[in-house]
Amino acid sequence: MILHAHSILFTPLCFVGVFHEISRPHNPSTFPAFFLFFALLWLFAIGRWIANVILGVVVYGIKANRGEWAGYPIIGRWCIPKLVPGAASPSRP
Amino acid letter, residue 43: L
**pLDDT given for residue 36 in this prediction:** 80
Q: What is the DSSP string of 15-46?
A: HHHHHHHHHS---TTPPPHHHHHHHHHHHHHH
- The yes-or-no verdict on residue 72 having pLDDT over 60 is yes
Residue 93: inside a domain, yes or no? no
Q: How many domains does the chain have?
A: 1
* Domain extent for 73: 2-83
Residue 12: inside a domain, yes or no? yes
- The yes-or-no verdict on residue 89 having pLDDT over 70 is no
Tens of pLDDT, residue by residue over 44-68, are 989 988 888 887 788 888 888 888 7
- The yes-or-no verdict on residue 6 having pLDDT over 60 is yes
How many C-alpha atoms does 45 have within 13 Å on its Cβ side? 12
